[in-house]
Structure 1
Amino acid sequence: MKLKLITLVFLSIIIFTSCGEDEKSKPIQVIEQVPDKDFGDYHKNYLREISYIETRADSSSTSNMVKLPGGSYMMGGNSNQARQDEFPRHKENIKPIWVDKTEVTNAQFQEFVDETGYVTTAERSFKIKGKKYEPGALVFDPYNPEWWWKFVKGANWQNPTGPDSNIEGKENYPVVQVSWYDAMAYAKWAGKRLPTEAEYEYFNRAGNDTLIYHWGNEFEIAPEMSNFFQGNFPRKNTVEDQFEKEAPVKTFPPNNFGLYETSGNVWEWCLDTYYPDAYTRLDKRTDGYFKEFVNMEQQKVIRGGSFLCSETYCTGYRNSARMSSAPDTGLEHTGFRCVKDI
């Protein structure tokens, strides 16, 4: 679901201390809030912090990845559920690329944290308008009709719904409560990057740009093919797919490119800054994607849908569906996968 308004409460308008070359493996510490007009500096400083992360020794490995051929396809809405920001349909040319078979798992993210000491955005305190907030993240609350997402102290990637939760026994589940910055940091360490939005739709469609879903056009078999919300959203989940929330990676059949859970399970961060009229301004892209960051309300693209998507609400598991979220926000239904240039 689109998170523009509900995530503003979690925008951490903060800056970081400077960092020398001898501190490359140490995350820069948050020290104070800066005025809203300086959110661009916050963004730049976070990217600078990420740049200091040393790439792991075996970053050339393509284990658990699929090598995809390049090609052209028609990107954009092709069903009666498509929204305005999915048009106009247009041709995209994609270069050959390596893609992670699965979403990044808790075990993989744990290895990254253990090696680098990285601290996720949800594990850092922050200030908004002078008020200090303890570390935490957004958790879904279906029983509040006006505000489905609530900020929970102590919620983070190791405690996805708060201090009373944990990821024990879920090493093979997708990591969640990670922000766009966290995903970028992991990708830097792994010697990879996040996919562009055009790349994501390309490998989700897996060679057929006429399909509504990655498995075809038949919604009737969707619970066998993807993890999403069945029933009366948001309170009555009939769990026909056997999972109320995340499922372990490789639970559902892969698409025709051999990639798992590209639709459903958890939303996945993309490189692109989100624009509702992106497809009418393609000439403004830099290096094939929308790189610029404009203001504190600017969103980053998320793709693929999640266990909270339903036919009665966002249908985010459609191949062409576009959504967005604030880059510093952690959510219990959002993770990522990486790609690697050839």
Structure 2
Amino acid sequence: MEIPTPGACGDLKQTGTGGCCCTPAAEHESSGATQTESASSALIAEPKAGASVAEEHGAMIALPGGVFLMGTDYADGFPADGEGPVRSVALSAFQIDPCAVTNQEFAAFVAATGYVTEAERFGWSFVFWAHIAEERRAELVEDTVAAAPWWCKVPGAFWRRPEGPGSDVRERGRYPVVHVSWNDAEAYARWAGKSLPTEAQWEYAARGGLEQKLFPWGDELTPNGEHRCNVWQGKFPVKDTAEDGYAGTCPVDAFPPNGFGLYCVTGNVWEWCSDWFGTAFRADQPLRDPKGPASGQGKVMKGGSLLCHASYCNRYRVAARTSNTPDSSTSNAGFRCVRNS
């Protein structure tokens, strides 16, 4: 399986729904899997039991809200994505999860409700090529995304089988659940008595009290040579040197928290927000608790992922954004929840 350098997708800098660099959009036509062969199968390993993230870090973080500067005019950003202009936003108080939802937590939701994710119902999901065992690629990969062939359509891939049949999450209970669509994330949030964050809530919380910084800790990606997040090192998409310690996803609390106590809001997995994606913002209109457009094709995703790299897609900045269709799922997308006070 030959993987080219990211010229096509990187140059396109796609926006709207499913910018292929970030998370490819699925075109679903029919459902291939059933509950029997997926979520309820006794053959699929559960995450090993252990201390939960909530037990270790506390259930939610209470934030007072207030006024902050949202967006960016960063010269090396993507203006077409709607990153700017910088605008003043006022938020009411809310609570937010310190970490992305884990496999262990999602397993509890599935056990309690019998929920079947969209990847299971459609019978496949997108998996990054390098995370599929080389000797099994011919067997597992049905197709690839034309503009981004490192994204592989893998039948049988879903949250419990993140790299497709033969993989499992037994040793990844504290890792972020992936292969969850926006609809799946919304279903979990409702069950938990929470909701998905608005983009404004997410960005306010991710900034950790800092104003107009590129990252939750400042403007340097690796201050004093220290890795603060799980993103790509090396030449994308051919070689990830894993200098940050991880070639795949990492535990949801693997790096130090930001000033508000949130972990891994940069890199690791993209996080779904409640808003429909739009790019029409004005700096001269004060905004209070904005919720995005009334409709659209894609839902906002924030934070970047382990696949982000400055050479083609530096969307791991706090103000960066992308989107995908609500029924799409990939191996680098997850979510965290909020509760409005």
Q: TM-score, normalised by structure 2?
A: 0.77
Tell me how far apart the structure 2 counterparts of residues 333 and 9 of structure 1 sit (CA, whole Å): 13
CA distance in 1, matches of 2:24, 2:76: 27
Residue 238, structure 1, aligned to residue 210, structure 2: no
- The one-letter code matched in structure 2 to 1:324 is S
Where does residue 180 of structure 1 map in the other structure? 182
- Please tell me whether the aligned partners of residues 19 and 322 of structure 2 are also in contact (alpha carbons under 8 angstroms): no
Unpaired runs of 5+ residues, structure 1, are 16-26, 28-61, 126-134
Q: Please state if 1:98 is matched with 2:95.
A: yes
Number of positions where the alignment pairs a residue of Structure 1 with one of Structure 2: 283
Where does residue 323 of structure 1 map in the other structure? 322
Q: For residue 76 of structure 1, what is the aligned residue in structure 2? A: 71
1:65-116 C-alpha deviation (Å, 9 max, x unpaired):
1101111111111432221121111111111110001000000000000001
Deviates more, 1:62-71 or 1:98-107: 62-71
Alignment of 1:139 with 2:138, yes or no, is: no
Matches within 5 A, 1:125-136: 125=122, 135-136=123-124
Q: How does 1:185-200 map to 2 (within 5 A)?
A: 185-200=187-202
Q: Which runs of 5+ in 2 are unaligned?
A: 1-12, 36-56, 135-143
Matched, 1:107 2:104: yes
Aligned equivalents of 2:215, 2:100: Cα separation in 1 = 18
Q: Which moved more, 1:220-229 or 1:200-209?
A: 220-229
CA contact (8 A) 1:97 1:340 kept: yes
Q: Does 1:290 align with 2:304?
A: no
Provide the aligned C-alpha RMSD in A: 2.6
Residues 1:288 and 1:146: Cα distance change in structure 2 (over 3 Å): closer
Identity %: 41
- Cα distance in 2 for partners of 1:219, 1:8 equals 25
CA change 1:280–1:13 in 2 (3 A) is: farther
Give the Å deviation of 1:13. Answer: 5.2
- The one-letter code of the counterpart of 1:93 is A
Residue 39 of structure 1: aligned partner: none
- Say whether 1:67 aligns with 2:83: no
Instruction: Report what 2:218 is aligned to.
Output: 216
Please tell me whether the aligned partners of residues 232 and 308 of structure 2 are also in contact (alpha carbons under 8 angstroms): yes
Q: CA deviation at 1:286?
A: 11
Code of the aligned partner of 1:158: R
CA-CA distance at 1:207 after TM superposition: 1.2
Contact preservation (8 Å) 1:223, 1:240: no
Q: Does 1:117 align with 2:133?
A: no
Distance 1:172 1:268 in 2: 16
Instruction: Name whichever of 189-198 and 217-226 sits farther off.
Output: 217-226
Larger RCO (alpha carbons 8 Å, 6+ apart) = 2
Aligned to 1:132: none
Per-residue CA distance 1:97-136 (angstroms, 9 max, x = gap): 10001000000000000001111000103xxxxxxxxx01
CA distance in 1, matches of 2:331, 2:27: 16
SS of residue paired to 1:224: coil
Counterpart residue identity of residue 325, structure 1: N
Among 138, 147, 150, the residue aligned to 1:148: 150
Q: C-alpha distance in 2, partners of 1:159/1:274?
A: 29
Deviation at 1:223, TM superposition (A): 5.3
The offset of 1:211, in angstroms, is 0.9
Separation in 2, partners of 1:281, 1:224: 34
Sort the Cα spacing of 1:212 and 1:136 in 2 relative to 1 into closer, same or farther, 3 A. Answer: same
Contact 1:270/1:303 (<8 A) preserved: yes
SS in structure 1 at match of 2:281: helix
Please name the residue that 1:338 is paired with: 337
> Aligned letter for 2:66?
G
Q: Once the 2 structures are TM-superposed, how far is the Cα of residue 151 of structure 1 from its aligned partner?
A: 1.1
Paired residue type of 1:309 = C
Alignment partner of 2:149: what SS? coil
Matched residue, 1:312: 311
How far, CA to CA, are the matches of 1:183 and 1:282 in structure 2?
33
- Post-superposition shift, 1:263? 0.7
Shift of residue 146, structure 1, vs aligned partner: 4.5
Partners of 1:169 and 1:212 in 2: CA distance:
33
> Once the two structures are superposed, what CA deviation does each residue of 1:291-312 show, in whole Å capped at 9, x if it has no partner?
5334xxx111100011001111
Tell me the amino acid that sits aligned with residue 18 of structure 2: K
The structural deviation recorded for 1:210 is 2.4
* 1:207-238 Cα distance to aligned partner (Å, 9 max, x none): 11221111111223375210100111111111
Q: Secondary structure at the match of 2:188?
A: helix
C-alpha separation between the residues in 2 aligned to 1:67 and 1:286? 18
Preserved contact between residue 138 and residue 150 of structure 1 (Cα < 8 Å): yes
The 1:102/1:88 distance shift into structure 2, 3 A limit, reads same
SS in 1 for 2:206: helix
SS in 1 for 2:191: helix
